[in-house]
Structure 1
Amino acid sequence: MGSPTAGMEIPGMRAMGVFAACMMVSFGAFGQSEENILHHGATPDDDAHDTAAIQAAIDAVAKGGGGTVRIPKGRFVSGGLVLKDNLRLVLDEGAVLQGSSDCNDYGGKPQWNDALVKGTNLKNVTIEGPGTIDGNDCRNPQGEEGFRGPHGILLAGCSGIVIRNLTLERTGNYAMLCRDCTGGEFENVTVRGGHDGLHAQACTRFNVHHCDFRTGDDCLAGCDNQDFRVTDCRINSSCNGFRLGCLDLLVKDCRFWGPGEFVHQVSLGRGGQGRTNMLSAFVHFAPKDRNPRLPSDRWLVADCTIDHVDFVYGFDFDKGLWQTGQPAKRLRFQNVKATRVANPIRVLGAADRSFELTLENVSIALREDRADREVLNLTRFGSLRLTNVTLQNSGRTPVLRAREGTTVWLDRVACVPENASPFALERIDETKNDP
């Protein structure tokens, strides 16, 4: 039997050729000027604020049409900084750009758009290490949920973005927030603690490669995005790996694991020590209040491992938290191994049965203490296609429960342990079952 997905275009491949060309143009767009922040009065390794000195270096480079601003070795304390077009901000080895602990130092009245490093409607912006941006866990008592402070990096309406070889830690809100941006390259970025790692809203053509996210909140999040590639990344969270809405997504050669190494800050506000369990490797994200335009469609997750998460994937178009603005549609897992999972892949799709799930060369094993449940649970879907799949639970309940579907296609599906009644199918229009 041929693969049901043979010939399908890999998400993101079409757009990335254009994106690569854009990146080559942007790399040559910086001017020849270079400004060291020490030459503008910044002083390392003290608690004096260097905001004005760093901003002066940025403005001087911008006046000459663009160039490089260099932060040398040392710790430099700053409030909010505003980037300019054709700018390359370099943090040298041992350089730490540390955010002020006062939330009022980020652009006036504290608000959701505060950030340590901010750019709006810019072209050709690069922020690179190997130094560190340290948000200093800056909290805002008037912020969302009573504590959220400034983001690490906020870029809105920008194109030609490069963030690479950089560490971001302890940010007061998201490490990186991008809104309405086009063409983003994120390479060898390390995120530790804080909240969301990379939150993208209405962004197009992002390439995230060889990054290491270990966050208290979602690693990658946002909705209304298009043409994203996430490859060779490490994903650890006390919330979700991907809480994402995206049209055309490729996730390849990534490792997901829980529990989170950093506590979920929101749970601390509810008393106790806070939780660290990793909720989902993937969960659909399309909140109605953001008025999303795009569904999540043409997702390929390939050559990944997932361990010790509550869910591999979740989508509930009726009542799912922040999931009902646009539906999820076609999702394919290929060469994926998931171990010690607490709950089934659970889907409650749209009434038009537009959701399609394909698993090829996939194994999913439930945790021993949560094994008396199905591994897959789908309601209202167009097609479910399983090829060379191993599903492991206690053996006392079906591994698959599917209702109100158009097609269920089972090809070499193994149950561990052997199960006398492995499949519970109700109101399925067509079933194909190959041994």
Structure 2
Amino acid sequence: MKNSLFITLALFSQLSLRAQQQVQVPVFRKDTFNITGYGAKPDGVTLNTTFIQAAIDACSKKGGGVVRIPKGLWLTGPVTLKSKVNLHIERNALLRFTTDKTVYPLVKGNWEGLEQMRNQSPISGTNLEDIAITGKGSVDGGGDAWRMVKKDKLTESQWKKLVASGGLLDEDKKTWYPSESMQRGAQLKNPGVISADHSDAHFQSVKDFLRPNLLVLTNCKRILLEGVTFQNSPAWCLHTLLSEHLTMRDVYVKNPWYAQNGDGIDVESCKNVVIERSTFDVGDDAICIKSGRDEAGRKRGVPTENVWVRNCTVYHAHGGFVIGSEMSGGAKNIYVEDCTFMGTDIGLRFKTTRGRGGVVENIYIKNISMQDIPGEAILFDMYYMAKDPIPLTGEKQAAPKVELLPVTEATPQFRNFFISNVTCYGAARAIFIRGLPEMKIRNIQLKDMVLQADKGVEVSDATEVAMQNVRVITKGKEELINKVY
């Protein structure tokens, strides 16, 4: 096999550095606005929403600066960021969002790539420039009050304690809901979608189901997230949408492993992004690239591009680094390096399905270490079925029906992936690549890997899949793969 088939490390570094250098980091005035000066009290009882918001508003109105949240436990409802404001959460400060759902009004938002009604996010901002959340403190979204929980994801004692706390069970007694409104919404298809068929009364009837993401930033420029712990989100933890120049570093994102839709960060239709030196331990995908869903995403037509991820550690998650499945606007020019995945269901996860459309291309990944992966170390799948990647006890996931269908604008595409220097100690399968008969996965280059797994390599409906120096060790037997599929 000729080395010319593979991207060189020097070229990778050059492209990666170029992506990083395009990202602009916000700069703030030193003027400081302490929330205690606006009436806030750290007693865990006072609802400090109006006091914190007043400090943010005053800071922005006076040209920007730092809004200081000192040590202590600060109970609050949802707050809205403003331009030129750095919300600084000091060490030993806990910004705790109330579990009283009545203080979160329904607002127009976006969920899984579609415009929907949602409860207002605990922290949000729209059409802003130069914003930040920094410090060594913590933000807790109160997510346990919002989420449904599956019995099979808890121990027996945890399940009994949860059921005894209130709420409702479904008919088979295997799913717990915190309220009737939550359960009602779960029984409907897309109950939050904004349409002529959904009245205000309808949205109010399923309000608890329309869980907010902990942080949502929409159409913003120059964002900095640094040092803070974000945890216990009602749905996704961090969500940036249609934004540019995002820098995230030294952040810890934590959700219970059973948290439904408990993603770490979802970067959707964004440009110029750096995510580095951050740690994730979550209930769904950890670092996830998205760009809208199906026709709505294609109509938006804004890819996520120029993304640089490095020196991140992921513990529990459905996937360590993920693209999809809502990638209908496309994703390109993405660089991932020097990351460690320990116990993620899947290591590198690229997923889509018919109906999405969109093109994912020019993805560069190197220097990835993994261990204890219950599923695939590396997975490409164009038959995503919106289910957990590892079936729970008793669950069965039937293989999809393979058939040749016409190529349309709704046919997704994966092409031009360059992955090298991957080591995995323990996985169910080393590599799984499954394209569509009408749209094969194309030009996947895998180089310099040592993958220890129960099963080896499976490739179907893919072309130009080149492997060089890929060592696959299964049940004590080793295979060195140097071939093109």
TM-score, normalised to structure 1, is 0.78
Query: Could you tell me which of 285, 288, 297 is aligned with 2:361?
Result: 297
- Is residue 2:120 matched to residue 1:114? yes
Relative contact order higher in (CA < 8 Å, ≥ 6 apart): 2
CA contact (8 A) 1:286 1:322 kept: no
CA contact (8 A) 2:365 2:418 kept: yes
Q: Counterpart of 1:391?
A: 472
CA contact (8 A) 2:75 2:95 kept: yes
CA contact (8 A) 1:284 1:296 kept: no
CA contact (8 A) 2:42 2:74 kept: yes
Distance 2:334 2:386 in 1: 19
In the TM superposition, 1:103-142 aligns within 5 A as 103-108=101-106, 111-112=117-118, 114-140=120-146, 141=179, 142=181
Q: Counterpart of 1:334?
A: 420
Distance verdict in 2 for CA 1:107–1:67, change over 3 Å: farther
CA contact (8 A) 2:119 2:210 kept: no
- Is residue 2:280 matched to residue 1:280? no
Deviation at 1:113, TM superposition (A): 5.4
Deviations 1:77-112 (A, max 9, x none): 111101111111000111110000112222347953
Q: Counterpart of 1:360?
A: 447
Q: Counterpart of 2:21?
A: 17
Deviations 1:220-275 (A, max 9, x none): 224132111111110122422233143122111111011xxxxxxxxxxxxxxxxx
Query: Could you tell me which of 276, 280, 284 is aligned with 1:209?
Result: 276
Distance verdict in 2 for CA 1:392–1:12, change over 3 Å: same
Deviation at 1:332, TM superposition (A): 2.2
Specify every segment of 5 or more residues in structure 1 that has no aligned partner in the other structure, as ranges: 259-277, 395-415, 426-430
Distance 1:48 1:213 in 2: 31
CA contact (8 A) 2:124 2:217 kept: yes
CA contact (8 A) 1:139 1:147 kept: no
Distance 2:144 2:77 in 1: 11
AA matched with 1:320: Y
Distance verdict in 2 for CA 1:173–1:384, change over 3 Å: same
Q: Counterpart of 1:417?
A: 477
Q: Counterpart of 1:187?
A: 249
Distance 1:42 1:357 in 2: 55
Distance 2:370 2:413 in 1: 24
Deviations 1:145-171 (A, max 9, x none): 576633221101111000001101111
TM-score, normalised to structure 2, is 0.70
Query: Could you tell me which of 312, 316, 326 is aligned with 2:381?
Result: 316
Distance verdict in 2 for CA 1:105–1:169, change over 3 Å: same
DSSP 3-state at the match of 2:54: helix
- Is residue 2:230 matched to residue 1:163? no
DSSP 3-state at the match of 1:65: coil
Deviation at 1:14, TM superposition (A): 2.9
Q: Counterpart of 2:239?
A: 177
Distance 2:289 2:440 in 1: 24
- Is residue 2:315 matched to residue 1:255? no
Deviation at 1:338, TM superposition (A): 1.0
Q: Counterpart of 1:347?
A: 433
DSSP 3-state at the match of 2:445: strand
Deviations 1:354-385 (A, max 9, x none): 5222222101111xxxx3x4x11111222122
What CA RMSD, in Å, does the superposition of the two structures yield over aligned residues?
A: 2.7
Distance verdict in 2 for CA 1:97–1:203, change over 3 Å: same
AA matched with 2:416: R
Distance verdict in 2 for CA 1:344–1:304, change over 3 Å: closer
DSSP 3-state at the match of 2:321: strand
DSSP 3-state at the match of 1:49: coil
CA contact (8 A) 1:103 1:149 kept: no
Aligned residues: 370
Query: Could you tell me which of 314, 333, 336 is aligned with 1:235?
Result: 314
Query: Structure 1 vs Structure 2: percent identity of aligned residues?
Result: 22
In the TM superposition, 1:29-40 aligns within 5 A as 30-40=28-38
Q: Counterpart of 1:376?
A: 457
Distance 2:210 2:227 in 1: 26
Query: Could you tell me which of 63, 71, 74 is aligned with 1:73?
Result: 71
Distance 1:316 1:432 in 2: 19
Specify every segment of 5 or more residues in structure 2 that has no aligned partner in the other structure, as ranges: 109-116, 147-178, 187-207, 257-261, 292-303, 325-330, 388-409
Distance 1:241 1:148 in 2: 26
Deviation at 1:288, TM superposition (A): 6.4
Distance 2:445 2:106 in 1: 50
- Is residue 2:288 matched to residue 1:221? yes
Deviation at 1:284, TM superposition (A): 1.9
CA contact (8 A) 1:31 1:64 kept: no
